Amino acid sequence: MTLKELGGVGVGSLKDANLAMLAKWWWRFKTNPESSWRKVIWSIHHSERSSNPIPGKMTIAGPWKQVIKVSRDTEKYGINLSDCFWADLRVGESVSFWKERWIEGETLQSRYPGLFELERSKNAMVANRVKVINSAVVLNFCWVRLPATTEEVEAVQNMTEDLLAAARGYSEDQWRWEHDESGTFSVKSLKNSLQNARFSNLGNDFVWNNWNPTKVNFLAWRISLDRVPTLIALAHRDVITGQIRCKFYDQQEEDADHLFVNCEVARYLWNFVSHWCKVASIYAFRAKDLLDWHKHV
């Protein structure tokens, strides 16, 4: 399942593909504010007490519950799905002031959790809190109580500086996806990010050759990782318990290097191949040497 860039076969994970396709509904929810299905979801799942960037009541059964749970699965691999979306802010009528990214860095909810607790309307949009009147930025907060402690007052001052520094225009808000250079969400980009987070580099510099049939490429890839079911490999897995010496050359045990390079039969075959291709004789000490041999012809 590991990506080819990490030395794998590049088949892909069905679980990662499923998570990426479910996450696409997050993108659709953000980029289609006027669609009928979004309004239905909002009316059913919206809650002022919820801190989720996407509304969702887990007590309500249905497919939308699975969409909400995607973020939990991606966080297991170090990907915070909420932070992967950010708003290229203009008017701010469709962007949550506290819960969504629209200024540099993290959300205001994460940056100023104390002020978020004082907020009366936690689902307020940017346009409700930041207004531009006669080219001047006017901030309009709605607190449960006024910030009183030194920490709260200092947090208000810092947040005010952040808000005044945020550039705003007068066109429609645009959403951007962090894992793709185009800024547009794609299932492939999230699936690749999940696989890069899940799988470590196999340390295999094998290069897939498009000229070869798939079965030849796959066999060569298995040889590069020493995953060929030779007699020694089968014995290590307790598949066989008998003779592990080469059937053609009884003096040596059958591992990948012997089977493909060192056996007298293998040497004869490679000599025949080099003569048939009209190239210099093929000499190799290990099976992996054969995989790079074509680069030097």
**Which tens digits make up the pLDDT trace of 196-235?**
887 766 667 777 888 889 898 888 888 888 888 888 888 8
Give φ, ψ of 261 to 5 degrees.
-130, -55
Distance in angstroms (rounded) separating the CA atoms of residues 74 and 18? 11
How do residues 91-127 score in pLDDT, each as one tens digit?
A: 667 788 888 888 877 888 888 989 998 988 888 888 8
Q: If DSSP codes are grouped into helix, strand and coil, which group holds residue 240?
A: coil
> Does residue 168 have a pLDDT over 70?
no
250 phi/psi in degrees, rounded to 5: -65, -10
| pLDDT band for position 170 (cuts 50, 70, 90) | low
| Rounded CA separation 98/92 (Å) | 12
Instruction: Give kind and range of the element (H or E) at residue 44.
Output: helix 36-45
Give buried/exposed letters for 115-133 (b at 16+ CB in 10 A, else e): bbebbeebbbbbbbbbeee
pLDDT value at residue 172: 66
Residue with more model confidence, 30 or 7: 30
- List, for residues 76-85, the tens digit of each pLDDT value: 888 888 888 8
Tell me, what's the pLDDT at 28? 92
Q: Residue 131: pLDDT above 80? A: no
pTM equals: 0.66
Q: How confident is the model at residue 51, as a pLDDT?
A: 64
**Tell me, what's the pLDDT at 167?**
56
In the block, residue with structure tokens 């059958």: 254
pLDDT score, position 27: 92
With cut-offs at 50, 70 and 90, classify the pLDDT of residue 162: confident
Least confident of 59-68, 89-98, 120-129, 277-286: 89-98
